[in-house]
């Protein structure tokens, strides 16, 4: 019997897929009533993440409705600081809160030896999800693991929460780059360990979320974004050469080119501001592309959604690409709009 091909893995391995694959960032989340129900049952967000049965259900929920070609592991980028020993809580209706790091002395609390044990439930979620994908006949859906990239994770570790400008982090990196480098090194090492265990448990590709790459330029972009990402890429290529890596340097503008050329990623995720004609010309001979529908168009639906999808298809048709959003699904998005997106993309010829 022929093995079922997974279109996402075809694109990431530079083979021509049988259809244009798609998945959506934050596809498992609050726009889905069945997610909200499990989230309420679990009590806290981290309880949900660390419950392998519930977390694998959440991972499967959008696949059962829409049949995406990629299932993104249900977890969060902030489980890494949590596993390292930094206190992390998600308060209802608000973003995450961490006990902020204020100086190098605080790094003593961070312990790389805790990563594998603390995150064992996540690895079990991966095993269970692979099994559910198999037994429920989603043979063409690839399971995607992820972590935050070191700069983005460090931003939360230093600020203690989300922030508009991440000024404390930028100041620390500028005023004391030697000590900030130590933090980046710890997070980089933790990410390598974490992703390796995700791969051992069964993920078939990984995505590095660099949500805050728009904060840096020039040498700082090189040192805090490209260099650590390259280290992770090199580590993964050494030990798991068959696992493709997607990098998502959100809001990086023209810096995406250096990122694509210098980090060893196989695919670059583009945010909705990226110029697709430029990306098709400058990037697509080096890396596969993923993106970049504006989540607000998915929220709007109707002709605006159709036109947004058509524009992406016109620009990237024939190139190796995965349809996705430019950022996560907005929680007010009607599920019918996601169904419409799935129907349209399914109709695209490669």
Active-site residue set: 26, 30, 39, 76, 156
**Strand (E) or helix (H) holding 290:** strand 288-293
Segment near ligand 1CP (CB under 6 A), from 11-19, 88-96, 218-226, 252-260?
88-96
Q: Using CB under 6 A as the criterion, what x/- string covers residues 171-210 for binding ligand 1CP?
A: --------------------------------------x-
Site for ligand 1CP in 221-250 (CB under 6 A): none
**Does 252 interact with ligand 1CP (rule: CB under 6 A)?**
no
Tell me the CA distances in angstroms from 197 to 48, 146, 156, 219, 304, one per residue in order.
Answer: 20, 11, 23, 32, 41
Collapsing DSSP to helix, strand or coil, 326 comes out as coil
**Does 27 interact with ligand 1CP (rule: CB under 6 A)?**
yes
Give the separation between CA 222 and CA 226, rounded to whole angstroms. 5
Mention every residue, 6+ apart, whose C-beta is less than 8 A from residue 77: 146, 147, 148, 152, 153, 156, 209, 211
Give the separation between CA 42 and CA 145, rounded to whole angstroms. 22
**Residue 44 Cβ vs ligand 1CP, minimum distance, rounded to whole Å:** 8
**Does 26 interact with ligand 1CP (rule: CB under 6 A)?**
yes
Residue nearest to ligand 1CP (CB): 162
Give the separation between CA 197 and CA 213, rounded to whole angstroms. 26
Site for ligand 1CP in 36-55 (CB under 6 A): 39, 45
Site for ligand 1CP in 53-82 (CB under 6 A): 72, 74-78
Size of the site for ligand 1CP (CB under 6 A): 22
Site residues for ligand 1CP per CB under 6 A: 25-30, 39, 45, 72, 74-78, 90, 95-96, 146, 162, 209, 211, 328
């Amino acid at each position: 019997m022929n093995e079922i091909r997974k279109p996402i893995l075809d694109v990431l391995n530079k083979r021509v897929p049988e259809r244009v694959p798609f998945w959506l960032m934050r596809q498992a989340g609050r726009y889905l009533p069945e997610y909200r129900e499990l989230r309420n049952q679990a009590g806290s967000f981290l309880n949900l993440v660390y419950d392998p049965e519930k977390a694998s259900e959440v991972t499967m929920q959008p696949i059962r409705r829409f049949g995406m070609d990629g299932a993104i592991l249900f977890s969060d980028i902030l489980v890494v600081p949590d596993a390292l020993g930094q206190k992390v809580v998600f308060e209802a209706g608000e973003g995450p809160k961490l006990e902020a790091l204020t100086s190098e002395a605080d790094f003593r609390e961070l312990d790389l030896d805790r990563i594998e044990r603390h995150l064992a439930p996540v690895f079990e979620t991966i095993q269970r999800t692979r099994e559910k994908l198999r037994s429920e006949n989603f043979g063409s859906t690839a399971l995607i693991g992820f972590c935050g990239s070191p700069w983005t994770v460090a931003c939360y570790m230093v600020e203690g929460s989300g922030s508009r400008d991440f000024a404390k982090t930028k100041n620390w990196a500028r005023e004391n780059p030697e000590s900030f480098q130590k933090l980046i090194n710890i997070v980089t090492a933790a990410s390598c360990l974490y992703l390796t265990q995700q791969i051992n448990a069964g993920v078939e590709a990984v995505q590095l979320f660099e949500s805050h790459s728009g904060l840096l330029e020039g040498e700082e972009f090189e040192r805090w974004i490209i260099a650590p990402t390259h280290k992770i890429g090199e580590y993964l290529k050494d030990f798991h050469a068959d696992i493709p890596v997607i990098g998502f340097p959100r809001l990086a503008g023209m810096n995406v080119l250096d990122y694509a050329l210098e980090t060893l990623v196989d695919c670059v995720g583009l945010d909705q501001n990226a110029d697709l004609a430029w990306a098709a010309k400058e990037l697509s001979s080096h890396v596969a592309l993923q993106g970049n529908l504006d989540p607000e168009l998915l929220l709007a639906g109707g002709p605006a959604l159709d036109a947004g999808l058509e524009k992406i298809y016109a620009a990237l048709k024939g190139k190796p690409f995965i349809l996705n959003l430019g950022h996560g699904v907005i929680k007010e998005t009607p599920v019918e709009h996601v169904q419409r997106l799935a129907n349209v993309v399914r109709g695209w010829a490669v």
